[in-house]
Structure 1
Amino acid sequence: MRVQYPLVLSLLSVAQSAPTAETKADFSQLFSEAATSKIWDTARNSLDQLPDRFPDNVPSTGADTGQYIFSAISAWTSGFFPGSLYTLLERNIKYPSHFNLPNNTPDDTYAQLLSLARSWADPLHAQAFRTNTHDMGFLIQPALRKDWELTGNQSSLDAVITAAHSLASRYDARVNAIRSWDSLKNKRHSISDQNTNFLVIVDSMCNLDLLFYAGHHTGNQTLIDIATTHAHTVRRDIVRKDYSTFHCCNIDPATDAIKFQETVQGYKDWSTWSRGQAWGILGYTQTYQWTKDPSFLETARGLADYFVKRLAAARHTHPYVPLWDFDAPSVGGVVPPRDTSAAMVAANGLLLLHQALQGNSPYYDQALRIVGQVMDLSLADPSVGWESILMNATINNNEYSNTPSNNTGLVYADYYYLQFGNLLLQMGYV
């Protein structure tokens, strides 16, 4: 049986062994007025971007420094900002003592927040029919699943189920996997022939939750089997023996032979891209929660232990805020870019893994250590006009990338930051 501790008491054990920076972290910032206001203000002030454009990233240089860059709704990131609004709505409904927004009465806040969340989520319904991307979980689940669960909106559940079938259409029984990318074009590759190439990436593990959710809601075993089979294929072809991960593999669909295993967003093919490792932790933990297959629990633990081991071995300041790639070198004594999105994805995965192990694990303390150092290093000062909650994220810093980008705010880093706070509340740790 899981033992619940107040957050302030559990932090004592963390602080005893953690770097000095962590002891300064104020975990009330997870539920701060400043964080809530950033999401609220962006939602209200950017309604003119709808229905076609959604918050994506916040650059640290150039004319748009500190301001959100908006991407087309087709971008894989478009579900996260509406998801953040629904995360706040959930907090407002279930945990009002941890929802902070100035100058609003409770009734007004709920009505306004639901209206904003629906305004940003409604355009996503049409995205549920897409079969040209594997990112259906990222696009649909953060907002529309929450809309169904919090308000009973049947059209949102219908969109979730439609999206699951759209994702399942990308499954190929010859390779026992869902196709992640239809093509790969950068300074290294120009791959577009789907008859001879089948690209699978580790990120795909976090889209399987959509299939399990829809499969169990509708009694569709095919959706469940596709998700389970894909997870086994990723274990075989992307997870290394030491539980580090490749980012991408290319499979010959005619022979099921691996054509290459490499990275598209990390440092080198042999290295470990930290956000990819984090996607694996979260995705395999979710998959274990649905299947109770011990091989998935073993994989989730192996990935988590590798992630934390690499953090613990770092010798720079705030070592638990991961480098964008664990193997990226310092140049001239300068620490490589960090990735707070990798930190927050991993922290959520570690917390769920701790729950799956019924509280008998080191992963709760490790998750708090990561989040404490993220807050100490990377919470953006509201007074400087930085629109995202967090800084110090990396989109892609690979040498072959057509559009490298680091030291940014990222909409999904903020989403997982807010989600982490809600998970702590749901699990009774605050």
Structure 2
Amino acid sequence: MKLNILPFLSALSMGLALPSDAPSRRFDQNIGIDLPALFSETTTAKIWRTAVDSISQLPGKFPNYVPSTGSNIGQYVFSDISAWTSGFFPGSLYELLERSVRFPDHLKTGSVDPEDIHDQLLDLSRQWAKPLQTQAFRTNTHDLGFLIMPAFQKDWELTGNQDSLDTIVTAAHSLATRFDPRVKAVRSWDSLVNKRQNITNKETNFLVIIDSMCNMDLLFYAGHHTGNQTLIDIATAHAHTVRRNIVRKNYSTFHCCNIDPQNDQIKFQETVQGYKDWSTWSRGQAWGILGYIQTYRWTKDAVFLQTAIGLAEYFVNRLSKSSHTHPYVPLWDFDAPTVDGVLPPRDTSAGLVAANALLLLHQALQGESPYLDHALQIVRETIDLSLSHDPASLTLSPNGKTAVPAGNWDSVLMNATINNNEYSLSRSNNTGLVYADYYFLRFGNRLLEMAFA
């Protein structure tokens, strides 16, 4: 049955306020969780509208970022399917599908019949996920976890679709081809070309980045589902190598390291997206927390739990010691300077990745931790500062002149930074990001899974 969602979407497209959600109950009287925006009807409508209106972009293009300047201000820019971000929009649809299946009282869709919502969501999710199956055969990227897991893990777990599990296993074996036993790591990048580096020789260079830790979940998942110990061992070895070469003694992180595969010696440690080589890029730190707590959940190795705790402590300490407004919405880099009273760009994607990781860390510590409170504070302040669908809010473009109604933005969140490094060939900040929205929805579902919502 085709779902009539025109009234649901047209209210959003005309900039009208949708019916307000009923006040959310306090999920835990001791914690005081009260974040109705996580489950709002308007958030659902934004994802749904993009899925319906952009279906013609398939199979080759996927939502990536929403610029705050230029001719398409507030509208999604689409990237080629090969972009590392392409898995997140289908993943967002599957997060909504999961709500319709497991938590229907938290999927706000007005008066539309829940059964029709489920059927239409499943159809949309699979339409957006199917083209990504071709990406599972790639051996030229380490980002297969980001490309494959958000959609296909959910499809397998919610529907039992064997094709989805097969896609995950195929992708894992593709990723495993990038493992080098001399370095005991999976190669992240085949090259690094910017205004400072021109590295293309794979015989003498082996590039590893902190982001790679989140792609190890693909190897663990496929390894445990198929009984393949080799995939598990590769992921575990990689985690040890990253810990040794990218995590600093104070549990801050480099972004990238280059290892000579011929002698396993470090050639350099630097940042490609953060402020300086010695600084701490906030999203990289967040990737590290998430990657190591995921690794601990699979291995139960205490060294990985301690690494996740150390990385988390560094992250939340830097937030808590910040003196600017909304300190829990991270700056793009913790060490980027304020210039003439102007704060450096924020990165809501860093905050949402970290918030998800902190929930997992709180769960691993069996609820005896401060990390739930920190995660909630990140999300509260992000909603307050950066929720784009609040019709009453405005955001100014970087030149300070053009007021943009936040309700006109395609993405749920604003104030994200892709890359602001001085040597980057393309700098981009103050955007919406498809993966910030994905982790926003994922955070809400994690709260539901943990019975906090």
Among 35, 54, 62, which residue is 1:54 paired with?
Answer: 62
Distance 1:296 1:182 in 2: 27
CA 10–63 in structure 1, closer or farther in 2 if over 3 Å, else same: farther
Residue 17 of structure 1 is matched in structure 2 by: none
Q: How does 1:20-419 map to 2 (within 5 A)?
A: 27-381=35-389, 383=391, 384-419=407-442
Say if 1:144 and 1:156, in contact at 8 Å, map to a contact too: yes
- Cα displacement string for residues 180-239 of structure 1 (whole angstroms, at most 9, x for unaligned residues): 000000111110000000000000000000000000000000000000000000000000
Distance 1:114 1:194 in 2: 42
Aligned residues: 414
- Cα displacement string for residues 337-384 of structure 1 (whole angstroms, at most 9, x for unaligned residues): 000000000000000000001101000011001100000000003543
Distance 2:260 2:112 in 1: 57
Say if 1:34 and 1:382, in contact at 8 Å, map to a contact too: no
Structure 2: which amino acid aligns with 1:266? G
Distance 1:334 1:157 in 2: 48
Unaligned runs of 5+ in 2: 1-24, 392-406
Structure 1: which amino acid aligns with 2:189? W
Secondary structure of 1:345's counterpart equals helix
Secondary structure of 2:430's counterpart equals strand
Distance 1:58 1:40 in 2: 16
Say if 1:6 and 1:429, in contact at 8 Å, map to a contact too: no
Residue 29 of structure 2 is matched in structure 1 by: 9
Say if 2:43 and 2:389, in contact at 8 Å, map to a contact too: no
Tell me by how many angstroms 1:9 deviates. Answer: 2.0
Tell me by how many angstroms 1:11 deviates. Answer: 4.0
Normalising to structure 2: TM-score of the pair? 0.90
Residue 17 of structure 2 is matched in structure 1 by: none
Distance 2:28 2:152 in 1: 33
- Cα displacement string for residues 142-181 of structure 1 (whole angstroms, at most 9, x for unaligned residues): 0011111111111110000000000000000000000000
Distance 1:334 1:11 in 2: 34
Residue 9 of structure 2 is matched in structure 1 by: none
- Cα displacement string for residues 123-151 of structure 1 (whole angstroms, at most 9, x for unaligned residues): 01111000000000000000011111111
Secondary structure of 2:429's counterpart equals strand
Distance 1:7 1:364 in 2: 13
- Cα displacement string for residues 33-59 of structure 1 (whole angstroms, at most 9, x for unaligned residues): 010100000000000000000000000
Among 411, 422, 426, which residue is 2:449 paired with?
Answer: 426
Tell me by how many angstroms 1:104 deviates. Answer: 1.7
Distance 1:402 1:11 in 2: 44
Secondary structure of 1:7's counterpart equals coil
Residue 20 of structure 1 is matched in structure 2 by: none
Structure 2: which amino acid aligns with 1:220? N
Tell me by how many angstroms 1:327 deviates. Answer: 0.1
Normalising to structure 1: TM-score of the pair? 0.95
Tell me by how many angstroms 1:107 deviates. Answer: 1.3
Distance 1:314 1:409 in 2: 23
Tell me by how many angstroms 1:269 deviates. Answer: 0.0
Say if 1:311 and 1:320, in contact at 8 Å, map to a contact too: yes
Say if 2:28 and 2:452, in contact at 8 Å, map to a contact too: no
CA 6–289 in structure 1, closer or farther in 2 if over 3 Å, else same: farther
